[in-house]
Amino acid sequence: MGKELYDSNETAKKLFEQANDILGFRITDVMFDGSAEDLKETKITQPAVFLHSVVLAKTMDDFQPSMVAGHSLGEISALVAANVLQFEDGLKLVSLRAQAMQKACEQNPSTMAAILGLEDNVVEDVCAGINEEVVVAANYNCPGQLVISGSNEGVRIACEQLLEKGAKRALPLPVGGAFHSPLMEPAREELAAAIMEANFNTPSCPVYQNVSTQAETDASVIKENLIAQLTAPVKWTQSIQNMIKNGATEFIEVGPGRALQGMIKKVDRAAEVSGVS
């Protein structure tokens, strides 16, 4: 992961080595030569995805987006791309976020599941009706795809009820815990202190954040939204709709994979999508 970039670009090599120094271990060894299991550890996965995305952005010619957004962890990459955060500060926050989330997962065994083929309000109503367990709508990925998050039992009950309501599929996700749910509160508190201390600059272009879905340009508001993000849902569908409403016609996914391109096409088939990975 990222090895070709490291080998072919001096700027990339410098940033990867800087990341090794900041993290205090050679994450590049895991990214380039580690097993899939090694890479799946939360403390590795989050910095690795952040690094790959941000280094790609820093090595693109004429990288001047009119607006940016990032899905969940990707929001921190977007903040670096929009010059809100310096590379080093972004990486430190991502590393802390990963460790805090890992701890929260260990405190509360929990999970997530993707619900396909239902209206958002049906999923929300079912989750709201399960009072004895924690389960909430967590990721509004695109029309017909909403991820739920909560206690193991809460997610199991919700999946059963949602299939009865007509969901095409209810897919348990291979994740360590209930991200973007109230069960992440210990991680939110830990990360909040670090975010408040970090230096946030005025963005070079509007940032559409997961929590507000609006074009944010005020550094203090961006901080508050980033803190809220850990326990609040990722409103990706609504963010993309607002970007399109405000003039976006072409979306470039910067980072590994094509997941966001697929989601954006489902939000608006007319949107032009491409990727740099």
Kindly list the catalytic residues: 72, 180
b/e burial code for range 98-117 (CB count within 10 A of at least 16 → b): bbbbbebbeebebbbbbbee
| Separation of alpha carbons 232 and 214, rounded Å | 15
Q: How far, in whole angstroms, is CA 250 from its chain's centroid? A: 20
Residues 258 and 235 sit within 8 Å (Cβ to Cβ) = no
Query: How would you classify the pairing of strands 68-69 and 207-208?
Result: parallel
**Tokens 């980072």 sit at which residue?**
255
Could you count the other beta carbons within 10 Å of the beta carbon of residue 206? 19
Can you read off the two tokens belonging to residue 95? 């590393």
Question: CA torsion angle for 91, 276, 180, 214 (degrees, to 10)?
Answer: 100
Ordered DSSP codes for 197-259: HS--PPPSS-EE-TTT-SEE--HHHHHHHHHHTTTS-B-HHHHHHHHHHTT--EEEEESSSSH
State the burial class of residue 7 (Cβ atoms within 10 Å of its Cβ: 0-12, 13-18, 19+): exposed
| Separation of alpha carbons 237 and 241, rounded Å | 6
